[in-house]
Amino acid sequence: MTIAVYPGSFDPVTNGHIDIATRAARLFNKLVIGIYDTPDKRILFSTEERVELTRRAVAHIPNVEVTSFTSLTVDFAKEMGAKVLVRGLRMVTDFEREFEMSLMNKKLYPDLELVCLMTGLQYQFLSSSLLKEVAGLGGDVQNLVPEFVASALKEKLGSES
Top pLDDT among 50 and 91 is at: 50
Top pLDDT among 37 and 41 is at: 37
Assigned domain for 23 exists: yes
Question: pLDDT tens digits for 115-142?
Answer: 999 998 898 888 899 999 999 999 999 9
**Domain count along the chain:** 1
Assigned domain for 82 exists: yes
Q: How far apart are CA 56 and CA 152, in angstroms?
A: 12
Helix (H, G, I), strand (E, B) or coil at 109: coil
Assigned domain for 19 exists: yes
pLDDT at 92: 72
pLDDT over threshold 60, residue 161: no
Average pLDDT over residues 5-27: 97
Cβ-based neighbours of 46, under 8 Å, separated by 6 or more: none
Domain of 100, CATH number, reads 3.40.50.620
Assigned domain for 117 exists: yes
pLDDT over threshold 60, residue 79: yes
Question: pLDDT tens digits for 47-70?
Answer: 999 999 999 999 999 999 999 999
How would residue 160 be classed by pLDDT, with cut points 50, 70 and 90? very low
Top pLDDT among 154 and 39 is at: 154
Assigned domain for 128 exists: no
Closest listed residue to residue 117, CA positions, set 99, 146, 90, 97 = 90
Q: Residue 113 is part of which domain span?
A: 3-121
Assigned domain for 134 exists: no
Catalytic residues: 17, 41, 90, 128
Assigned domain for 144 exists: no
